[in-house]
Amino acid sequence: MAGAHFHPVDDQSLPPPPLWIWPTMMAICILSILLPAGKTRLICSAPLLRFFLATLWGSKANVLAYSHATQCFMLLCRWIDFTVMHDPERDFWVVDQSAAETRIGSKPRDIKAPAGILAKLKWWTGLLLNSRGVGLNIQCKDMPSPVPKDYSKARWIHDLLITISWTYLLTDLVTALLVRYSTDTPFFAQPLSLQIFFAFLHAIRFVTGVEWTYDILAIFCVSIGLSTPSDWPPTFGSFTQNCYTIGGLWGRFYHQWLRRNVSTAGVLFNKLFGIRKGSIASRYTQLFVGFGFSALIHMFGAIAGRYEDHGFWQSMFFLVQPVGIVVEESVVGIARSVGLEKNGFTKSIGFLWVTVWMLYTLQWMVAFMPVQWIKEDRPPSITDLLFGLVEHK
């Protein structure tokens, strides 16, 4: 965004972290599967940790530095989850649905890790990159359903191209508005209405940007034969079916991309402190720890991207989300106790509640984003061309 509500970093004495760190970490993670299971594989933890810490050492306020640090941290956590906390060859597998789809009463067939070196490397790479666990025994709960296996590839590509078109244009329009109507006033010094307005634009920009980026990657992978349309479920869940509660928005609409990382942190916390599985204490501990871990992931990005507040307000955004979920669940519980059931009216109240909550808290997420990011992180702009033509006339 333009200099309006952002704070540039003065110290530019250090270069940004090199972008080869993530590919190097990924290569180490992939090759680690060839080592004997157990303590021998832990040898890889030292270089992985060292490379991740290197992503935090730089001073240029760069959106790539932010995303690079968060991706490296999540990869490190995923490797620890899969190789330190589990035995991947034994604990993870592909669930082949073809048998269940062709014979009534049959069960999916589990496909374990292959024995050959190249086949095993391919299997392991797919496991590391499959953040939602699509088609695996660890597939995220409540993930949107993909298209059927017999769905026409041409029709699927056509559908995605339409989605790419309108989401790209919307991303472009929102970005142009952010750049065009920013001022030099610090974010929190602006009227609350403007803070909320800018936060709303950022939310649209992020969701639409993720959508068309994901869809382009999906079309590419399917077109060259790396995967099929059924391997690419929708990016987000249904807004109308899920987003009338904060919990539904995070759990079923959006947060599936981080679900494995944040839920693993909560489960591990409960095990360490002996909290009984399935209890109310376990559920809410996992809820708060999960959002706390999400705050940590984004804080590392803020440190690498050189946020002036080091990610404090961004972390606050994530840390208050479980508070909102607890409040709404308490209200829902009271409503049910007096005989009020879910209907169109209560869902409308829910949508209003979620809208107010997210618009107010989202301002914390964007308040200290460095000044030049919006201009740097822009796809080719159709809106700029149109604005230029209008101004020229």
Query: Pick the residue with more confidence: 209 or 113?
Result: 209
Q: What is the pLDDT of residue 9?
A: 43
CA angle 118, 26, 48 (to 5 degrees): 125
Between 3-17, 134-148, 299-313, the lowest mean confidence (pLDDT) is in 3-17
**Residue 151 in tokens:** 């769905």
Contact 301, 67 (CB under 8 A): yes
Question: Beta strands of the chain (E only): which ranges?
Answer: 94-96, 109-111
Contact by Cβ (8 Å): 41, 18: no
CB proximity list for 14: less than 8 A, separation 6 or greater: 57, 58, 59, 60
pLDDT in tens, 5-24: 444 444 455 666 788 999 99
pLDDT attached to residue 14: 62
The residue to which tokens 């997210």 are assigned: 358
Query: Which residues, 6 or more positions from 84, have their beta carbon under 8 angstroms from its beta carbon?
Result: 41, 42, 45
Residues 6 or more apart whose CB falls under 8 angstroms from that of 61 comprise 8, 9, 305, 306, 370, 371, 372, 373
pLDDT class of 60 with cuts at 50, 70, 90 = low
Taking 90 as the threshold, does the pLDDT of residue 115 lie above it? no
- 75 and 22 in contact (C-beta within 8 Å)? yes
Contact by Cβ (8 Å): 262, 294: yes
CA angle (11, 379, 206) in 5-degree steps: 80
**Is residue 64 exposed (0-12), middle (13-18) or buried (19+ Cβ within 10 Å)?**
middle
For residue 295, is pLDDT > 90? yes
Domain extents for the chain? 18-54+63-129, 153-392
Q: Tell me the pLDDT of the chain averaged across its residues.
A: 85
* Nearby residues of 338 by Cβ (< 8 Å), 6 or more positions away: none
Task: For the full predicted model, state whether its pTM sits above 0.75.
Answer: yes
DSSP assignment of 84-149, as one string? ISS-HHHH--EEE-HHHHHSTT--PEEE---SSHHHHHHHHHHHHH-TT-TTBTTPPTTPPP---T
Mean pLDDT across the stretch 88-102?
70
Of residues 80 and 2, more confidence is placed in 80
Kindly indicate the confidence band of residue 374, based on its pLDDT and cuts at 50, 70 and 90. confident
**Contact, 172 vs 383, CB < 8 A?**
yes
What is the per-residue pLDDT for 109?
54
Tell me the CA end-to-end span of the chain in Å, nearest whole number: 26
Buried b (16+ CB within 10 A) or exposed e, 276-290: eeeeeebebbbbbbb
pLDDT at 158: 96
Give the amino acid at 355: T
